[in-house]
């Protein structure tokens, strides 16, 4: 059996630190590392990145989410995927959905579906696409 682990790595346009602090609070996780370009590389790749995140790690349970900021010219909005978050109950789904949807864009409101008592799709204010899915 493989020992490989799939870890989602997100890129941001200068808002990685703010995004990870929101995700930490919202998801009940813990930022275990947050390094800046100015601390890691001498000189930084560009002046605009000095105070931006070169690497961030967020642990949520036994899962890991990583991310970084990229130069404005290199940034591309995420597309072709969503971060699917499976939660235990409808109340937790509602809380997380509302928190992530604030100043973002709701694609599909949180609602009952044939597979879930609470499922919704949104893009948060940082551009990260999410699917919130309640297992029971």
Query: In CATH terms, are 8-74 and 83-134 the same topology?
Result: yes
The answer to whether 8 touches 20, Cβ cutoff 8 Å, is: no
CATH fold for the domain made of 8-74: 3.30.720
User: For residues 15 and 79, what is the distance between their CA atoms, to the nearest angstrom?
Assistant: 17
Q: Where are the domains of the chain?
A: 8-74, 83-134
The owner of tokens 């949180």 is: 110
The residues facing 121 across adjacent strands are: 108, 131
Q: What is the pTM of this model?
A: 0.93
Q: What is the pLDDT along the chain (136 residues), one digit of tens a residue?
A: 878 889 999 999 999 999 999 999 999 999 999 999 999 877 777 888 999 999 999 999 999 999 999 998 899 999 999 999 999 999 999 999 999 999 999 999 999 999 999 999 999 999 999 999 998 7
CATH 3.30.720.110 fits 83-134, yes or no: yes
């Amino acid at each position: 059996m493989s020992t490989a682990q799939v870890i989602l790595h997100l890129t941001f346009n200068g808002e990685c630190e703010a995004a990870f602090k929101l995700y930490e609070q919202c998801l009940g996780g813990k930022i275990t590392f947050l390094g800046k370009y100015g601390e890691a590389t001498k000189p930084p790749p560009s002046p605009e990145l000095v105070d931006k995140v070169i690497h961030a790690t967020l642990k949520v349970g036994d899962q890991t989410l990583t991310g970084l900021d990229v130069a404005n010219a290199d940034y591309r909005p995420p597309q072709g995927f969503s971060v699917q978050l499976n939660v235990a109950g409808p109340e937790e789904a509602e809380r997380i959905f509302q928190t992530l949807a604030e100043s973002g864009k709701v694609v599909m409101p949180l609602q009952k579906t044939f597979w879930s008592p609470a499922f919704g799709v949104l893009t948060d204010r940082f551009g990260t696409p999410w699917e919130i899915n309640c297992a029971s």
